[in-house]
Amino acid sequence: MPVEPVVIGVDSSTQSAKAAFVDVATGRMLAVGRAPHQVTGEAGARESDPEVWWRALREAVANGLKESGVPTSAVVGIAVAGQQHGLVVLDRAGIPVRPALLWNDTRSAPQAAALTEALGGPDAWTARTGSVPVAAMTAAKWQWLREHEPWAAKAAAAVRLPHDFLTERLAGIAATDPGDASGTCWYSTATGAYDPQLLDLTGLDGDLLPPVAATGAVRIGSLTATAAADLGLPAGIAVAAGTGDNMAAAVGLGLGGAGLLDHPVLSLGTSGTVFAASRTRPASPALAGFAAADGTFLPLACTLNCTLAVDKVAALLGLGRDAAEAGGEVVLLPYLDGERTPDLPGASGLLTGLRHTTTRQQLLGAAYEGAVVTVLRALDEVLRACGLDPADADAATRPLRLVGGGAKGRHWVETVRRLSGRPLLIPGSGELVALGAAALAAGATTGEDPVALAGGWQGEGAVELPPVERDMETWERVSGVLERAAPTLLG
């Protein structure tokens, strides 16, 4: 009996690697192999050894093969979606010079501020890249490396993003895509290419960066014999250009030019992220104005403190994560690792409004509320970047797609629902980044539009929740504390 073609979509995130085995014809997820990553660092530092990512990818693929029972002969393509922004510096042998600086490493905040000023301010940056440098951006991390570890910068024979590093290991060819490249602050969303002035500004030789592949169904090469032996897969299968994790999630949701446009998404994970696929090129200093994987744009805002911060508060209180109650008078801004949106990289957590009657459960509920208000305020900026008025009836009633690990948590869902007043749509697939990567791999083998493919794959199991009356009292209380405290949170 002939075996239906299968593709592998890899989600290489901050915390782990996931390899989803997906039936090309139906989009059915046959198995998801997993393997952990290791993150080190303290006092703002967050680093990982890129070789750990490769080992985890190998382990995840092996676990997925075993779980799915798919014969290796059925696998026809693979693509990687990776955590954005991380700085990978390689020597002439392709070996990492040092551990990668991750997106949530905030040590490069002073360099980001200096870069912003050097080009003439936020508007000058958004006109070129769509984004203003913050600590997360790759160019700011490169500046930090030049200033603090000049030996490592001088040893650089190649500079890569996390997904670039893994794709190059698969295909033996250096390549990136416009979506992930747009998060470096070296790539111009206005011209669709690396910007020579920005490279000069940061002292980076453009030859160290990978070429940018075209958007859409792009096969950049084939799985090399060496990589095939490492992964236990057939040599010669298609390797797609891949993309960043947020871009892949948009593809997995069927958002883009061949699907839905200007529909908001809220991802509750290590970070809290809001985005939408749009034909409007974003140029707001409050947002990251990324390119999408399919040639549209992806206005996005990212908050550092989401599920991990709330889980930390729960652990400090000795409570389970769903033991929370509404915070009452308490406001807790859980900026335990600084914050990205709003741009407060030196901030720490802030607690106010305590009473004798305050309970542990209310303190935990206040942590949820602080995280959710922060990310929903950023959502309003995303809607504006799409040309929508957040207060307009059409914009306010568009379902908010809730994804990520937090979308499985009862109190996360309840808090988003209560503070947004929006209808929620929770997709059936919990592995949208890996699914989007699989769609890119399938497109590389079939020539079809990955967004259209993923849109046709949308399976059963989605949960739709109608809106509830918005809790404006809590919204205004938390927002008011944030606005008053912001100057003192700059750290």
How would residue 1 be classed by pLDDT, with cut points 50, 70 and 90?
very low
| Average pLDDT of the segment spanning 331-353 | 91
Please give the pLDDT value at position 485: 86
* Residue pLDDT, tens place only, 322-332: 999 998 999 99
Position 390 pLDDT exceeds 90 = no
Do 203 and 146 touch, CB atoms closer than 8 A? Answer: yes
> Which positions are annotated as active-site residues?
245
Do 422 and 399 touch, CB atoms closer than 8 A? Answer: yes
Which range among 368-372, 427-431, 459-463 shows the weakest confidence by mean pLDDT?
Answer: 459-463
CB under 8 Å to 135, separation ≥6 — which residues?
105, 106, 107, 108, 109, 112, 338, 340, 345
Do 275 and 382 touch, CB atoms closer than 8 A? Answer: yes
How would residue 489 be classed by pLDDT, with cut points 50, 70 and 90?
low
* Residue pLDDT, tens place only, 19-39: 999 999 999 999 999 999 999
Please give the pLDDT value at position 72: 96
Percent of the chain with pLDDT over 90: 85
**Higher-scoring residue by pLDDT: 111, 304:** 111
Please give the pLDDT value at position 342: 87
* Residue pLDDT, tens place only, 46-64: 999 999 999 999 999 999 9
Which range among 221-230, 257-266, 390-399 shows the weakest confidence by mean pLDDT?
Answer: 390-399
Position 172 pLDDT exceeds 70 = yes
How would residue 380 be classed by pLDDT, with cut points 50, 70 and 90?
very high
Position 3 pLDDT exceeds 60 = yes
* Residue pLDDT, tens place only, 432-464: 999 999 999 999 999 999 999 999 987 667 899
Do 333 and 350 touch, CB atoms closer than 8 A? Answer: yes
Please give the pLDDT value at position 123: 95
- Nearest residue to 295 (alpha-carbon basis) of 381, 386, 189: 189
Phi and psi (nearest 5°) for 160? -135, 155
Q: Between the ranges 103-117, 207-221, 389-403, where is the mean pLDDT highest?
A: 103-117
Please give the pLDDT value at position 2: 53
96/225 Cα distance (integer angstroms): 22
**Burial status of residue 47 (CB atoms within 10 A of its CB: 0-12, 13-18, 19 or more):** middle
Position 488 pLDDT exceeds 80 = no
How would residue 248 be classed by pLDDT, with cut points 50, 70 and 90?
very high
Handedness of CA 87, 450, 252, 434 (dihedral sign): negative
| Average pLDDT of the segment spanning 270-284 | 92
Q: Do β-strands 243-244 and 75-82 pair in parallel, antiparallel, or remain unpaired? A: parallel
Position 100 pLDDT exceeds 70 = yes
Q: Which domains does the chain have, with CATH numbers?
A: 6-246+434-444 (3.30.420.40), 262-426+461-491 (3.30.420.40)
Position 410 pLDDT exceeds 50 = yes
**Higher-scoring residue by pLDDT: 260, 165:** 165
